Amino acid sequence: MSIFNFFRPPPRKSVAEEAKERLQIVLAHERAAGSSPDYLPILQRELLAVIAKYVQIDEKKVEVSFERGGDYSTLEVNIELPPPSNDKAARARGTGPVTGGDAKKPPAAAAKRA
Amino acid sequence: MAKVIVMTSGKGGVGKTTSSAAFATGLALRGFKTVVIDFDVGLRNLDLIMGCERRVVFDFVNVINGEAKLNQALIKDKRVENLYILPTSQTRDKDALTKEGVEKILDELRKDFDYILCDSPAGIEKGALMALYFADHAIIVTNPEVSSVRDSDRILGVLASKSRRAELNQEPVQEHLLLTRYDPERVERGDMLKVDDVLEILAIPLLGVVPESTAVLRASNIGMPVTLDEKSNANQAYTDAVARFLGDTVEHRFMKPEKKGFFERFLRRTA
Ligand SMILES: Nc1ncnc2c1ncn2[C@@H]1O[C@H](COP(=O)(O)OP(=O)(O)OP(=O)(O)O)[C@@H](O)[C@H]1O
Ligand SMILES: [Mg+2]
């Protein structure tokens, strides 16, 4: 060690160490997922369908991000809701109430889903 | 019993063809009757690396289609006894290789050869699947670099699920890691993944480490498998790997930077 090292910032992870960590994380996920289809697109579609039952949403104002971590992963869904005035207008037109819908469906449909 | 070996990687350009030529030559030099088959349909290259490009008349696909006999398509190496090359076709037809066709040829080769080495194309699509389907052994060619390691992991998954041995629930394909283009100096500096890192991640036995070497380009330029370049360290690395494959115990080399004299080190710094 030369005296110059004294003034250097504390040693950081080497590039190779970082490469190894990144590989371990991504491979752990890929191995677990195997060849099964990625459920994220379906999850996103179904989530939006549920929310759309209650509020009007603009598909372009939806952001979905997914981040894999070593110990846990996070799924972040960001939906920009319309301003309150729109909401009122919707209710005035009679599209607001959330009753009806599912409740009126014949029991056969529910049985099929189960 | 003849053994089928596939040289595969997932990722392109990591050294499969170089290693196939070197490994096949090494096996033949050890006295085993060996044939190396180019599975990269449409991108024929093994012939150039083996230096027999001017002797190709018929190819693998001609034989599958019954347009030529197997022994008309096989090219006997002029330098090494016991070494044969089966070149691929330049056709653009992706469906030129069929499982039935490949199986028929391999069965015929099995009667006559000790080792059948399949040089796989890159990717995990049809061509690569054909090359690995009938394998008894798989040599996974990997560079110490993130995308290569990741793709090697994927191809290991494919071997474990889509090879014939997997489909028939037989003993799994035997896996071997061949780490190529290794640069011990960059590893020392912490810029490149170490052998141990790659081994820990892929968790398969190490067959050999081939250093980054100028001899490889030189050998390919003159159409000579690097295993015939007596002085090169790449040759020694491949020869060691072949010996390990055949069951010899050979210590690993080329994993540490070569010791340099003061003058050389000085030159490198100022370069
Ligand atoms: N140990 C090495 N040292 C230096 N260069 C090398 C080494 N091994 C391979 N190369 C070079 O890397 C390049 C790619 O090699 P090669 O064609 O064998 O790869 P490949 O995996 O067969 O590629 P493809 O996926 O396109 O079939 C060539 O230019 C070759 O000379
Ligand atoms: Mg190749």
Ligand 1 contact via B172 beta carbon (within 6 Å): no
The rounded percent of chain B whose pLDDT value lies above 70 is 96
Among A27, A34, A35, the residue with its CB nearest the CB of B150 is A27
Q: What is the pTM of this model?
A: 0.80
Q: Which residue has the higher pLDDT, B244 or B260?
A: B244
Q: Are A30 and B153 within 8 A, CB to CB?
A: yes
Does the C-beta of B40 come closer than 6 Å to ligand 1? yes
Q: Which domain holds residue B198?
A: 3-268
Q: Give CA–CA dist B46/B94, Å, rounded.
A: 18
pLDDT of res. B267: 61
Ligand 1 mutation pick, B7, B18, B40, max ligand atoms within 8 A of CB: B18
- CATH homologous superfamily for the domain A19-80: Cell division topological specificity factor MinE (3.30.1070.10)
Residue set of the binding site of B: 11-18
Here the ipTM equals: 0.81
Q: Å from A32 to nearest chain B CA?
A: 11
Closest-CA residue, ligand 1 atom 12, reads B15
Please give the average per-residue pLDDT across A46-52, as a whole number. Answer: 85
Q: What is the pLDDT of residue B268?
A: 57
Supply the pLDDT for residue A30.
81
A30: distance to nearest CA of chain B, Å? 9
- B-contacting residues in A 3-32 (Cβ below 8 Å): 14-17, 19-20, 22-24, 26-27, 30-31
For ligand 1, say whether the CB of B229 is within 6 Å of any of its atoms: no
Tally of structural domains, chain B: 1
Q: Give pLDDT tens digits for B105-154.
A: 999 999 999 999 999 999 999 999 999 999 999 999 999 999 999 999 99
- Alpha-carbon dihedral of residues B181, B129, B67, B28, nearest 10 degrees? 40
What share of chain A has pLDDT > 90, as a percent?
Answer: 9
**Residue-by-residue DSSP string for B138-180:** EEEEE-SSHHHHHHHHHHHHHHHHHSHHHHTT-SPPEEEEEEE
Task: Give yes or no for residue B18 CB within 6 A of ligand 1.
Answer: yes
B61-95 pLDDT, tens digit each: 999 999 999 999 999 999 999 999 999 988 878 78
Higher pLDDT, A29 or A7: A29
Domain with B105 in it: what CATH number? 3.40.50.300
Question: Angle, nearest 10°, between helix axes B126-133 and B99-110?
Answer: 30
Nearest C-alpha neighbor of A28 from the set A70, A73, A74, A75: A70
Ligand 1 closest atom vs CA B181: 1
